[in-house]
């Protein structure tokens, strides 16, 4: 097997260092004329310690030190226990940073944990802001968008289409509810909800037959049931629902004729909608901001899942690379023997294992 130059250089450097340390130990042994110190003797097998220095042959001790199972004084090995790739992946997939910690990568583990905490914190804060905004725009809608006002406008709009636009609308006028506080839905009784639902059904019947005089196009949407997600979205998205807002201008003249404001879709200069009020747009902005925050939180939750997967893969790859590096290792052992005259002789063992 051919060994690369850098491996040979590493071996020679290690041998040189150990030779110097061995000669130093030998000099100390000659000066003291004694057996190795207690700390070194503890590392030599009991059978060897039971013998006098003069009884230990240099060949026997040398063979003992060269034995791979012997871990005498000064011995060192670059080999380490293999890391469990599956465990590293599972640990970090469950908690990012755990697998890195098992791999001994403390800084990387702390970074992974910090990243996980930042993602979770961002998700919680942004989602809560979105939910708070959702509660706010719903309360705003309850206070300033009136289904009864919209129903009243729709009755007049129905009449306008029939009388002035030659429209054909067979659905009857809406029976507008009264005596119910439409700004406080939490206070409604079951009977109140039934009456309101009936009004909504009548509204929908007219909407299905209504059209826009300017374009002739039918209404694109019908008013959803009160409190549905679509209910809160549509009243601030489509101009046909603008007359329900509390600041929408009057649409009938003093002589009971119809003003231009009867048509919320009327187009003004530069494509503007002059009959649509600022409250409509303000609500639309608040609704959009809240939904954007909730969508952002949803994307962050997806990022959270990816962070677990990526952390698991990183831990597994690091463990695998570590195990592969252990295939290239240098095991070294060093100790002392004595010649027949009782002089210490350094003995070294070097074993180089090349990668697969």
State how far the alpha carbon of 109 is from the alpha carbons of 27, 93, 173, 271, 307, in Å: 47, 13, 68, 57, 13
As given in the structure block, the two tokens for residue 235 are 């009243």
How far is Cα 253 from Cα 256, in angstroms, rounded to an integer?
Answer: 5
On whether the pTM is more than 0.85, the answer is no
Name which of 274-288, 309-323, 324-338 the model is least confident about.
324-338
Give me the residues paired with residue 77 across strands.
Answer: 331
pLDDT reported for residue 103? 92
Name which of 74-78, 104-108, 324-328 the model is least confident about.
74-78
pLDDT at 39 over 50: no
pLDDT tens-digit map of 245-299: 999 999 999 888 999 999 999 999 998 999 999 999 999 999 999 999 999 999 9
HEC string for 111-153: HHHHHHHHHHHHHHHHHHHHHHHHHHHHHHHHHHECHHHHHHH
Residue closest to 196 by CA, chosen among 141, 237, 151: 151
pLDDT reported for residue 81? 75
Tell me the mean pLDDT in the region 331-339.
Answer: 62
State how far the alpha carbon of 96 is from the alpha carbons of 160, 210, 305, in Å: 65, 57, 10
pLDDT reported for residue 80? 59
Q: Let me know: does 249 contact 205? Beta carbons within 8 Å.
A: no
Q: How many helices (H) and strands (E) does the chain have?
A: 11, 3
**Rounded CA Rg of the chain:** 43
How far is Cα 323 from Cα 328, in angstroms, rounded to an integer?
Answer: 9
How do the domains of the chain map onto residue ranges? 5-82+328-353, 130-298
Contacts of 150 (CB under 8 A, 6+ apart): 203, 223, 241, 243, 244
């Amino acid at each position: 097997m051919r060994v690369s130059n850098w491996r040979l250089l590493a071996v020679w450097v290690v041998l040189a260092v150990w030779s110097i340390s061995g000669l130093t130990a030998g000099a100390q042994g000659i000066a003291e004329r004694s057996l190795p110190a207690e700390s070194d003797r503890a590392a030599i097998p009991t059978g060897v310690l039971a013998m006098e220095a003069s009884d230990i042959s240099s060949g026997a001790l040398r063979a003992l030190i060269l034995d791979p199972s012997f871990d005498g004084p000064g011995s060192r090995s670059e080999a380490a226990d293999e890391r469990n790739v599956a465990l590293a992946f599972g640990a970090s997939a469950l908690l990012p940073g755990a697998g890195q910690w098992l791999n001994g990568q403390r800084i990387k583990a702390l970074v992974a944990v910090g990243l996980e905490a930042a993602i979770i914190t961002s998700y919680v804060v942004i989602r809560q802001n979105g939910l708070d905004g959702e509660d706010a725009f719903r309360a705003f809608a309850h206070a300033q968008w009136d289904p009864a006002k919209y129903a009243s406008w729709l009755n007049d709009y129905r009449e306008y289409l029939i009388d002035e636009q030659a429209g054909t609308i067979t659905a009857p006028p809406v029976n507008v509810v009264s005596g119910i506080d439409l700004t406080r839905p939490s206070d409604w009784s079951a009977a109140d909800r039934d009456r309101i639902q009936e009004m909504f059904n009548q509204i929908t019947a007219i909407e299905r037959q209504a059209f826009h005089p300017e374009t002739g196009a039918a209404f694109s949407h019908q008013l959803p049931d009160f409190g549905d997600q679509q209910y809160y979205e549509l009243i601030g998205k489509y101009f046909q629902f603008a007359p329900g807002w509390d600041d929408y201008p009057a649409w009938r003249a003093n002589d009971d004729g119809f003003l231009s404001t009867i048509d919320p879709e009327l187009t003004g200069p530069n494509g503007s909608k002059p009959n649509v009020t600022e409250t409509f747009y303000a609500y639309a902005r608040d609704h959009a901001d809240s939904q954007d925050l909730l969508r952002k939180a949803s994307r962050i939750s997806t990022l959270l899942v990816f962070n677990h997967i990526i952390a698991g893969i990183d831990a597994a790859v690091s463990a695998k690379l570590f195990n592969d590096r252990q295939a290239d290792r240098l095991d070294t052992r060093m100790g002392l023997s004595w010649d027949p005259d009782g002089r210490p002789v350094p003995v070294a063992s070097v074993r180089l294992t090349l990668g697969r």
